[in-house]
A and B are shown apart, each in its own frame.
Chain A
């Protein structure tokens, strides 16, 4: 009998737990550790942030689902990994600290045979002075943040209804942010909501982003066929921003967020400021900061984790210039090179390098998006890793056999641009591969047949349908496996 220990119960960790439990005979244990008692369908947090949904509609308690599936659940935060065990405990283990009200602050050592790190991001608001809900800006990264943001938006709308003009600044709060797609969705949902509430003429909407150009989304943008041309997503993005009356500031590293004014540096090295009454700015991400120790208790964190605290896996981490990047740099099995029983999936693994071309300002400040790891690829890699581990635990394989490289994987992204059944819209995109391959597709980096984008109401219906489908699946309701990742 073996034990698979999974750290994190987000999109990646929960998917891994469900597939591993389904695949493994009952004699093997699947155990989940996560500090939050709730599961959250994060892509719908943007709708909580406009008041279109309530936090209860995007969350559900994890414990009953894990009880139904026969998965022991520890509501706790992993603190350190001990891959060689300790003198008292010869097996590898993870030290966890409980966050549940009954066991708050208690620690325990949980042994494992295989470990999946799916701890997602730490929201690094500290990277920019004044950034974050504890300071001067808002966020939609968690359902709690999003609910707080919805209340602030409501106040702003009330002011506009009283005739006060408002400036709303939405985007990324640091030069190295990722997840531009989420901020983009929030921007256009706010714009839609302002129109719905009849106050659009009172609002100045400004997008601020570390993307060198609109439509980059941390993927270096994409080319699609439209109207007899092969056109870059920048053109479509600029069209949408113009159509909806949104101004944009790109290539910006936000240095300081004040209560009414923020300061940013641009790629040309200028320092500028922008005034605002409302600011929703996403933070940069790092890993959650797990530590690692060897048998003697000596710290070996750098053997397992990159300096940004994401976990090192089977990627090619050698320093390379943009021109030297290759699809082969991207991990395939997500296995730790030093400790083969450890894997990292979702946002928790360390990407080898960005996808967008790295840019620095004339003052040397890095201003470019770090690579996005969206829901679909996070779920796919989690499933593949869980199935590989299940095969290794049952003796069907001695090494991972399934691969899930972002350089050979496609993704569908539905970016909501207004929530309404009859006049809402979304930008529906598919890309293949996620990481562009300029050797195979020299002109565009991607397969044009599978790289598409369109704006319309259908995208909103899809986004809505996915909301229900993924929550249905995550609750492990009957036939959950029929819903793809």
Chain B
């Protein structure tokens, strides 16, 4: 991650906390998300 400098484009966006980043690759949690993503995609398929 670059050093954040005032008024530069990368100064303002929200950054994920360590906690958020941890859950992004936590296997049991991501397995649940995987199941949920499949449900969400099937919901999209049903909406045609």
> Hey, which bits of chain A sit against chain B, CB under 8 A?
235, 238-239, 241-245, 247-248, 376, 380, 384, 404, 409-412, 422-423, 425, 428, 430, 432, 450, 452, 454-459, 461-462, 484-485
**A412-B40 contact given A243-B15, A458-B33, CB 8 Å threshold:** yes
What residue in chain B is nearest A250 (Cβ atoms)?
B9
A459–B36 CA distance with the chains assembled, in angstroms: 11
Most buried by A among B1, B12, B13, B38: B13
Contacting pair B42 A484 (CB below 8 A)? yes
Among B2, B14, B24, B41, which residue has its beta carbon within 8 angstroms of that of A430?
Answer: B41
What are the 10 closest A-B residue pairs judged by CB atoms, nearest first?
Answer: A238-B13, A458-B33, A410-B44, A458-B34, A412-B41, A457-B30, A484-B45, A456-B24, A410-B47, A458-B30
> By the criterion CB–CB under 8 Å, are A239 and B16 in contact?
yes
Residues of chain A contacted by B36 (CB below 8 angstroms): 458
Q: Bound complex: CA of A248 vs CA of B31, how far in Å?
A: 32
Q: Is the CB of A235 within 8 A of B13?
A: yes
A452 interface neighbour in B34, B40, B45, Cβ under 8 Å: B40
Which residue of chain B is the closest to A403 with respect to CB atoms?
A: B48
Please, which residues of chain B bring their CB within 8 A of the CB of A244? 1
On whether A456 and B33 interact (CB within 8 A), knowing A239-B13, A412-B40, the answer reads yes
Chain A neighbourhood of B41, CB < 8 A = 412, 430, 462
Q: Determine the distance from Cα of A410 to Cα of B47 in the docked complex, in whole angstroms.
A: 6
* A402 (CB) vs chain B CBs: closest residue: B48
Q: List 9 A-B contacts (CB under 8 A).
A: A242-B9, A423-B25, A430-B43, A450-B44, A456-B24, A456-B30, A456-B33, A458-B30, A458-B37
B27 and A422 within 8 A (CB): yes
CA distance A247 to B4 in the complex (A): 12
Query: Chain A interface mostly helix, strand, loop or mixed?
Result: mixed
Q: Is the CB of B10 within 8 A of A462?
A: no
Nearest to A376 among chain B residues (CB) is B44
B residues with a Cβ closer than 8 A to A are 1-2, 9-10, 12-16, 23-25, 27, 30-31, 33-34, 36-38, 40-45, 47-48
Task: Using CB atoms, name the residue of chain A closest to B24.
Answer: A456
Interfacial chain A residues near B16, Cβ < 8 Å = 239, 243
Task: Verify A247–B44 contact, CB threshold 8 A.
Answer: no
Given the complex of chains A and B, what is the CA–CA distance between A409 and B41 in angstroms? 12
Closest to A428 in B: B37
Contacts of A248 in B (CB 8 A): 9
How many contacting A-B pairs (Cβ < 8 A)? Answer: 86
Contacts of A411 in B (CB 8 A): 44
| Chain B residue, CB-CB nearest to A424 | B25
Question: What residue in chain B is nearest A460 (Cβ atoms)?
Answer: B30
The CA of A296 and the CA of B7, in the complex, are separated in Å by 66
Smallest distance from the beta carbon of A466 to chain B beta carbons, Å?
Answer: 9
Asked whether A456 lies within 8 Å of B44 as measured between CB atoms, the reply is no
Contact A485 B25, CB 8 Å, known A238-B12, A242-B1, A452-B40: no
Q: A245 — which chain B residues lie within 8 A by C-beta?
A: 1-2
Query: Are B2 and A461 in contact, with the CB atoms below 8 A?
Result: no
Report B43 CB to chain A, min CB distance, Å: 7
Q: How far is the CB of B1 from chain A (nearest CB, A)?
A: 5
The answer to whether B45 touches A459 (Cβ under 8 A) is: no
CA A404 – CA B48 in complex, angstroms? 7
A423 and B23 alpha carbons, distance in the complex (Å): 11
Starting from the known contacts A380-B48, A432-B44, 7 additional A-B residue pairs (CB-CB under 8 Å) come to A238-B9, A242-B10, A245-B2, A423-B25, A432-B47, A457-B27, A457-B30
List residues of chain A with CB within 8 A of the CB of B14: 235, 239
Complex CA distance for A432 and B43, rounded to whole angstroms: 10
Instruction: Return chain B residues, CB-CB under 8 Å to A384.
Output: 48
Query: Distance in Å from the Cβ of A461 to the closest Cβ of chain B?
Result: 5
Name which residue of chain B comes closest to A421, CB basis: B27
A454 touches B13 (CB 8 A): no
Residues of B within 8 A of A376 (CB): 44
Inter-chain CA distance A239–B12, complex, in Å, is: 9
B20 to chain A: closest CB distance in Å?
9
The answer for the CA separation of A244 and B1 in the assembled complex, in Å, is 6
How many Å lie between the Cα of A248 and that of B13 in the bound state? 13
- A454: B residues at CB distance < 8 A: 33, 37
- Separation of A454 and B23 alpha carbons in the complex (Å): 11
Contacting residue for B13 out of A242, A404, A425, A485, CB 8 A: A242
* Contact yes or no, B15 A410, CB < 8 A: no
Once the chains are docked, how many angstroms separate the CA of A412 from the CA of B38? 10
Q: Which residue of A lies closest to B48 (CB)?
A: A380
Distance in angstroms between the alpha carbons of A327 and B14 in the assembled complex: 33
Which residue from chain A places its CB closest to the CB of B1 in the assembled complex?
A245
Across the interface, which residues of B come within 8 angstroms of A380, CB to CB?
48
Which of B10, B12, B16 has the most C-beta atoms of chain A within 10 angstroms of its own C-beta?
A: B10
Specify which chain A residues have a CB less than 8 angstroms from the CB of B33 in the assembled complex.
454, 456, 458
Residue contact A461 to B48, C-beta cutoff 8 Å: no
Q: Given A243-B15, A380-B48, A422-B25 in contact, is the A450-B43 Cβ separation under 8 Å?
A: yes
